[in-house]
Amino acid sequence: MLLYTEKQLDVAYRIDCKARSKYNEPWVTREDFRPVYEDLLESYMVAFNLKDIANKKIPDHLLQSVNDLLELTLTLGD
Residue 78 maps to a domain = no
Tell me how many domains the chain contains. Answer: 1
With cut-offs at 50, 70 and 90, classify the pLDDT of residue 43: confident
Between CA 57 and CA 43 the distance in angstroms is 16
pLDDT at 61: 64
Residue 69 maps to a domain = yes
Between CA 58 and CA 30 the distance in angstroms is 20
DSSP-derived letter for residue 55 is T
Task: Name the H helices within the chain.
Answer: 6-22, 30-45, 50-53, 60-73
Give the residue numbers spanning the domain of 18: 6-73
pLDDT at 78 over 50: no
Share of the chain above pLDDT 90, in %: 21
Whether 12 and 58 have beta carbons less than 8 Å apart is answered as: no
pLDDT at 10: 93
pLDDT at 23: 83
